[in-house]
Structure 1
Amino acid sequence: MSAFTAADVKRLRDATGAGMMDCKKALTEADGDYDKAVEFLRVKGAKDVGKRLERSTTNGVVVSKDGALLELDCETDFVAKNADFVALADRLLEIGLQNTPADAEALLNTEVDGQTVAALVEGESARIGEKLVLSRFVAFEGATATYLHKRATDLPPAIGVAVQYSGGSEDAARSLAMHIAAARPRYLTRDEVPAEAVETERRVAEQTAKEEGKPEQAITKIVEGRVNAYYKDFVLLEQPSITEPKRTVKQIVDEAGMTVERFARFEVGQA
């Protein structure tokens, strides 16, 4: 018979968040050895995580610090507003700031406390009982303004923006970050727009114009208008300002004496 006490069970429960019967079984299988019991529960948890792979993660949190953004996703809003879940996101962000990985994939492969960040997330996923996904991470250097937005007052921030800039003021940069949160730009300048995206817009515009019976001599102008409209929708510097719709973001930024170097926008549940 394994030698362990009720206090041992409680200690294991407190450390892992597993159920009482699972902790008793783990200690029994491990002959009372605490470390082996933890390992037993982690293995069991890993199997549970595997069963949850097909679940969608449309809830979560975006956290920010010192010019960095991190998005951690989960399945339900109940977990999204759980203090342990938000604390995990903050911890992952700190690891990212300390190790400066290039992106979320590199962060997942980072070693911390004898395990990878991926294993850490997997272990927390098993403990919490939901699929957790570290979706995105970015860290900017230099002057950076960040903005976090909540979709609901009882939920943590689900949209995060970071803007790296030079010149201008912190207030102007933060105002721009708020614009980005609302306007959803994908690119900074039209030079960043993939050629295939532009070609798709041209093709769709041309085919639509022909099907609508537009005169052949007008099609070129219609196509260019469609492409320019695409730029206004998705290129930050060409978007109409949220605060001053008659002016472009570029006009606002230039007036502020600011140069936008790059930006990132994360939104939970959105690609």
Structure 2
Amino acid sequence: MPAFTAADVKRLRDATGAGMMDAKKALTEADGEYDKAIELLRVKGAKDVGKRLERSTTNGIVVSRDGALLELDCETDFVAKNADFMKLAERLLEIGLQSTPADAAALLATEVDGQTVEKLVEGESARIGEKLVLSRFVAFDGSTAVYLHKRATDLPPAIGVAVQYSGGSEDAARSLAMHIAAARPRYLTREEVPAEAVETERRVAEQTAKEEGKPEQAITKIVEGRVNAYYKDFVLLEQPSITEPKRTVKQIVDEAGLTVERFARFEVGQA
């Protein structure tokens, strides 16, 4: 019988979140060696993570610091407000700030404490008992305003916006970030809209107009109107201001002397 004590079992459980019987079994298989027992539990945990791959991660948290945003998703709101889950999000954000990866995929590939961030997340997923997904990460430089929004007072922020800007004031930039949180723009200017997206809108608008029986001579104008409506929906500078609907965002930021360089908007559970 391998030599280990109840204190060894407790230490292993505290470190891994494993059940008592799983911890005892791991120590037995590892001949009482603590590090080997952890490895055995991690292997078991990795298998458990695989079983959770099809689960939906529609809850989670968006955290921010020093111009960076990170979204970490989970399955339930119970885990979303769990202290360990929130600490993990903050730790991942710190790793991102130190290593400055280009995106979430690069952050997942980053090495930390002898393992990749992806393996770190998998280990925490096994310990917590839910599928966890590091969905998005971005880090801006220069002047950046951030706004975090909670969907409910007892839950962590589920929407995060970062705006990199020059000129104007921090208050004006933060007000813009609040607009972005509510209005959900996808692009800064119409030049950023992919050509295929515009062509799709044109095609749909033309077909819709024909099916509605619109006169042939009016279709071109109708199509342009609907494409412009698409820009107003999804291009930030062309959107009506949330606070002053009769004015565009461009009019508001120009008046404030604010130049918007780029922005990011993360919302838990949304693509």
- Structure 2: stretches of 5+ with no match in the other structure: none
Tell me the distance in 2 between the aligned counterparts of 1:207 and 1:10: 67
Are positions 1:40 and 2:40 aligned together? yes
Aligned to 1:196: 196
Q: Deviations over 1:80-119 (max 9, x none)?
A: 0001000000000000000000000000000001110000
Equivalent residue pairs, number: 271
Tell me the distance in 2 between the aligned counterparts of 1:116 and 1:45: 16
Aligned to 2:28: 28
Q: Deviations over 1:178-199 (max 9, x none)?
A: 0000000000000000111111
Q: Deviations over 1:112-141 (max 9, x none)?
A: 011100000000000000000000000000
Tell me the distance in 1 between the aligned counterparts of 2:34 and 2:242: 57
Tell me the distance in 2 between the aligned counterparts of 1:184 and 1:138: 17
Alpha-carbon offset, residue 213 of structure 1: 1.1
Q: What SS does the aligned partner of 1:185 have?
A: coil
Tell me the distance in 2 between the aligned counterparts of 1:108 and 1:213: 52
Tell me the distance in 1 between the aligned counterparts of 2:266 and 2:116: 23
Tell me the distance in 2 between the aligned counterparts of 1:211 and 1:251: 37
Alpha-carbon offset, residue 69 of structure 1: 0.2
Tell me the distance in 2 between the aligned counterparts of 1:211 and 1:173: 44
Q: Deviations over 1:147-179 (max 9, x none)?
A: 000001111000000000000000000000000
Tell me the distance in 1 between the aligned counterparts of 2:162 and 2:210: 42
Tell me the distance in 2 between the aligned counterparts of 1:122 and 1:111: 14
Tell me the distance in 2 between the aligned counterparts of 1:5 and 1:208: 74
Q: What SS does the aligned partner of 1:148 have?
A: strand
Tell me the distance in 1 between the aligned counterparts of 2:98 and 2:13: 30
Tell me the distance in 2 between the aligned counterparts of 1:161 and 1:195: 25
Mapping 1:1-271, distance limit 5 Å = 1-271=1-271
Q: What SS does the aligned partner of 1:152 have?
A: coil
TM-score (norm 2): 0.99
Alpha-carbon offset, residue 142 of structure 1: 0.1
- Structure 1: stretches of 5+ with no match in the other structure: none
Stretches of 4+ aligned residues off by more than 4 angstroms? none
Tell me the distance in 2 between the aligned counterparts of 1:111 and 1:212: 57
Q: Deviations over 1:59-92 (max 9, x none)?
A: 0000000000000000111100001000000000
Alpha-carbon offset, residue 9 of structure 1: 0.4
Tell me the distance in 1 between the aligned counterparts of 2:36 and 2:200: 57
Alpha-carbon offset, residue 212 of structure 1: 1.1
Alpha-carbon offset, residue 211 of structure 1: 1.1
Q: What SS does the aligned partner of 1:265 have?
A: strand
Q: What SS does the aligned partner of 2:269 have?
A: coil
Q: What SS does the aligned partner of 2:178 have?
A: helix
Tell me the distance in 1 between the aligned counterparts of 2:116 and 2:202: 45
